[in-house]
Amino acid sequence: MKYFWLTLVIGIISLTGIFKRLVLNLDKNPPKITNAVHINEDRSLKNAFKNDFYIGVALNAAQIEGRDSISDHFIPHQFNSITPENIMKCEVIHPAWSVYHFELADKYVAYGIKNKMFIVGHTLIWHSQLSPFVKSIKTPDSLRLFMTNHIKTVVGRYAGKVNSWDVVNEALNEDGTLRKSIFLDELGKDYIQLAFELAAKSAPKAELYYNDYNIEQPAKRAGAIALIKKLKARGCRVDGVGIQAHWSINNLSLKEIENSIIEYAALGVKVSFTELDLTCLPNPWDLKGSDVNQQFDNNREMDPYPNGLPDSVQTRLADCYADLIKLFLKYKDKIERVTFWGVNDGESWLNNWPIHGRTNYPLLFDRNFNPKPAFNKVMALAD
Ligand code: XIL
């Protein structure tokens, strides 16, 4: 009798999934959001701006693997271009000298092809999210060999499928000089040219982009312009410049953004806004004399809206997005793509950067995929 009750209790526990989750730890998928999202054909960003520019989004692993049932339908309805948020970065796709992990990248590319999307590869040569084996390379020859293998293997695998590559990411300092990195240290400034040449060889039809943040700001922009001019003068193919567009509702420099579109386009390259989000939270670097460190975590001053965005801030966010899209529409002949860095507020990296565990509201859809006032204001600009 004792065993009967024991068996019954174990049976019930395993059926409820508690067993699976707590004991076998199988339930690694994010919880499914079950509230219904009404998808209305007329309320689609990609349709609204189809004659203007691609509307892109960064995808995380769960979305790529179809583990997130709502985004599965939601993403192809709203967006016609995709960028992998992390899974094509060196540390994921190329973890050891001769080891490549292509499973997720293959699924990502297949997802884009299935949904007839413009597929972006992000990113080939970048000092961040590098695999540890690259950081320990000690000679210029080995680093050159790494770059050759990496670009040939990754770009070559998706030739004819990935439409545009972020070939080099964040190579510049704020003053426009070249950032110190293992690539600059070992190979000198020509590593950028090498990256573009290798990418062009492996994917002659893909667009090749230089991508960076703050390159709408004058000094850094001057550095980016000089860099692109030099590459082109040496016969390198550079098709576009990606302005990341991680901006803030507290200091959006519309004038500098406009000047940047004009000046980059004058170089004969396409302009894209590749990682758009607008933080609504205070920036720790604005607090003079303060280090960016854990002391800010869970500090009410730095995380002022844990339970929702006040109406006044919501309106400010909507106005900033409307101003931006209005500007982009003015220069739509020069702009190829506007990509949001995440689908909804809950999935944004800005909840954890530069301070971990805050509640941010940087995108057009809220945590339940509902359109925010910013979405409505942006949609009202479409013809
Ligand atoms: C970010 C991702 O969103 C995070 O998930 C990851 O932890 C760090 O990288 N510039 C880039 C992007 O080019 O690849 C970065 O993405 C954000 C800044």
Tell me which residues are annotated as active site: 170, 275
Burial 261-282 (b: 16+ CB within 10 A, else e): bebbbeeebbbbbbbbbbbbbb
H/E/C letters for each residue in 329-382?
HHCCCCEEEEEECCCCHHHCHHHCCCCCCCCCCCCCECCCCCECHHHHHHHCCC
What mean pLDDT do residues 165-170 have? Answer: 98
**What mean pLDDT value characterizes the chain?**
89
The residue whose CB lies within 8 Å of the most ligand 1 atoms, and thus the one to mutate among 349, 350, 351, 363, is 349
Based on the number of CB atoms within 10 Å of its own CB, is 294 exposed (0-12), middle (13-18) or buried (19 or more)?
exposed
What mean pLDDT do residues 304-317 have? Answer: 97
Task: With a cut of 80, say whether residue 196 has pLDDT above it.
Answer: yes
Q: Percent of the chain scored above 90 by pLDDT?
A: 82
The residue whose CB lies within 8 Å of the most ligand 1 atoms, and thus the one to mutate among 86, 169, 210, 277, is 86
What mean pLDDT do residues 51-72 have? Answer: 94
**What distance, in Å, lies between the first and last C-alpha atoms of the chain?**
73
pLDDT at 287: 54
- Judge if the beta carbon of residue 78 lies within 6 A of ligand 1: no
pLDDT at 36: 47
pLDDT at 40: 63
- Judge if the beta carbon of residue 305 lies within 6 A of ligand 1: no
CA distances from 51 to 162, 336, 363, 379, 380 (A): 22, 11, 22, 14, 15
- Judge if the beta carbon of residue 169 lies within 6 A of ligand 1: yes
Cα 287 to ligand 1 centroid, rounded to whole Å: 23
pLDDT at 364: 98
Q: Is 143 helix (H, G, I), strand (E, B) or coil?
A: helix
- Judge if the beta carbon of residue 85 lies within 6 A of ligand 1: yes
Task: With a cut of 50, say whether residue 224 has pLDDT above it.
Answer: yes
Q: Percent of the chain scored above 70 by pLDDT?
A: 86
Task: With a cut of 80, say whether residue 160 has pLDDT above it.
Answer: yes
Task: With a cut of 50, say whether residue 351 has pLDDT above it.
Answer: yes
Closest residue to atom 15 of ligand 1, CA basis: 85
Task: With a cut of 60, say whether residue 370 has pLDDT above it.
Answer: yes
Cα 368 to ligand 1 centroid, rounded to whole Å: 22
pLDDT in tens, 74-111: 999 999 999 999 999 999 999 999 999 999 999 999 99
pLDDT in tens, 249-272: 999 999 999 999 999 999 999 999
Q: Whose structure tokens read 């971990």?
A: 356
pLDDT at 21: 33
What mean pLDDT do residues 308-336 have? Answer: 98
What mean pLDDT do residues 313-333 have? Answer: 98
Closest residue to atom 3 of ligand 1, CA basis: 349
pLDDT at 292: 40
Closest residue to atom 7 of ligand 1, CA basis: 349
pLDDT at 179: 97
pLDDT at 5: 52
Per-residue pLDDT band for 337 (boundaries 50, 70, 90) equals: very high
pLDDT in tens, 2-52: 455 544 444 444 434 333 333 222 223 333 344 445 556 579 999 999 999
pLDDT at 300: 86
- How far is the C-alpha of 300 from the C-alpha of 289, rounded, in Å? 19
- The one-character DSSP state at 233 is H
Q: Which domains does the chain have, with CATH numbers?
A: 1-30 (no CATH), 40-379 (3.20.20.80)
